[in-house]
Structure 1
């Protein structure tokens, strides 16, 4: 299996271009993503043919589960497509489990250096995120975790997120609280968890616990959900820079068109052949 090791702000993936996904993909993802006995990654990503878009992306987490969407992976896939000239245009459409993503490449010396992704509309209806709450908007909903009362805002960007605002993100017990919230009964399909500190109306700092992965250096859909939640609760403007452990993403929520745009880098680290 020929692959490219890529990352979006430290959220890393093994990217493979194939005509189809192997039958043992769930087991393969666990083996490939193992950082001791495999290549090591947060996810295994397949670039596949599509009847609806230029290409299809499927992503499998390090625990073998399949994710509906991943903003960092979309940027990596877009860079792979452009850099390897699978499509000459800087405008690329990518089919995901959550819908079709339209991306625009910024290139230098025939290499993609930044990717702007139309992430589509945020889903705010409680049952559609999904949560157990039959509400149009689940905003600042209280949740008890390890004796603490926290408040979350639920947003789906094709995958579910619980955004929790804190005074100081460095003090958030991400590794302790993240897995408990991920599997809380409020969230029937589990959930990604963002801990967010507001710096000012144009900047926030975010730590993330990803469903099926654990704490990562960045999460593109999480940054989008954070931008939406911050604007919804009046904490920031509709365009915000999200500072993650791995770097920065610019998130813009066009509320007139109800579309979220994410702009950020993608990096190829090395290529190789796996015998797993």
Structure 2
């Protein structure tokens, strides 16, 4: 039976979205991986399944390109707001709020968490300067904004070989849930960012990565809020005041609607 889906992206970070609120969809890791495959499936960085929620307007489940389920995705959250009009979204990382104004989508993620066991990290350590290093990258800040992130501030983001370093950091035993890796360059009060996403690799943009990096930069007094974060796919405006949720403002683009017979994927 053909199943309808929506293809959307936030700054080039692309998603396949299935609406399972009226007709439930049982998603598995192999099936998510098959759908996300860009040669034999539909192709996406993340697969999204919408479900009913007793806590919010809609529940959003998120599966990375490798099929693993994760707790939060900022760019996908904006797409879900644009697609459904939802003002509250239940995620594995908590309930987030969203709104739309003239095509600009604002999403408020959870209040950042900095404690080592909330990131999480395997053993106690200073999350403002994690005492670890991988080649030219060392002493990152660690923060959880619904997903766990490391933020490295560097002089030149383009000089960092994230394709080589990203996988080893993501899978380091110090991070029991794996980790997203951000390299950030601060100039003239703004941030340039590249992100290695756990389970997806290099993406054109990462919403939670932009939020985590902005929080780290504001907390360390490198920038003030709000701050513009520019990635390969475009820019987001991030605002944060300590003790409050992170606010992210940016676009969400509808690409096309289609149908797929999931059984034919053989997963």
TM over 0.5, yes or no?
Answer: yes
Shorter-chain TM-score tier: over 0.9
Displacement of 1:275 after TM fit? 1.7
- How far apart, in 1, do the equivalents of 2:214 and 2:137 lie? 23
Higher fraction of strand: 1
**Residue 174 of structure 2 corresponds to which residue in structure 1?**
186
**Residue 141 of structure 1 corresponds to which residue in structure 2?**
130
**Residue 18 of structure 2 corresponds to which residue in structure 1?**
16
Show the 5 A alignment for 1:122-271: 122-135=112-125, 138-145=127-134, 147-148=135-136, 150-201=138-189, 203-255=190-242, 257-271=243-257
Displacement of 1:262 after TM fit? 0.5
Unaligned runs of 5+ in 2: 263-267
Displacement of 1:239 after TM fit? 1.7
**Residue 59 of structure 1 corresponds to which residue in structure 2?**
62
Displacement of 1:189 after TM fit? 1.0
**Residue 89 of structure 2 corresponds to which residue in structure 1?**
94
Q: Secondary structure at the match of 2:35?
A: helix
TM-score scaled to structure 2, two decimals? 0.93
Displacement of 1:173 after TM fit? 0.8
TM-score scaled to structure 1, two decimals? 0.90
How big is the alpha-carbon RMSD for the aligned residues of Structure 1 and Structure 2?
A: 1.4
Q: 2:46 aligns with which of 35, 43, 47?
A: 43
Displacement of 1:45 after TM fit? 0.3
Displacement of 1:270 after TM fit? 0.7
Unaligned runs of 5+ in 1: 108-112
Q: Give the length in aligned residue pairs.
A: 259
**Residue 8 of structure 2 corresponds to which residue in structure 1?**
6
Question: How has the CA–CA distance of structure 1 residues 210 and 64 changed in structure 2, closer, same or farther, with 3 Å as cutoff?
Answer: same
- How far apart, in 2, do the equivalents of 1:243 and 1:24 lie? 33
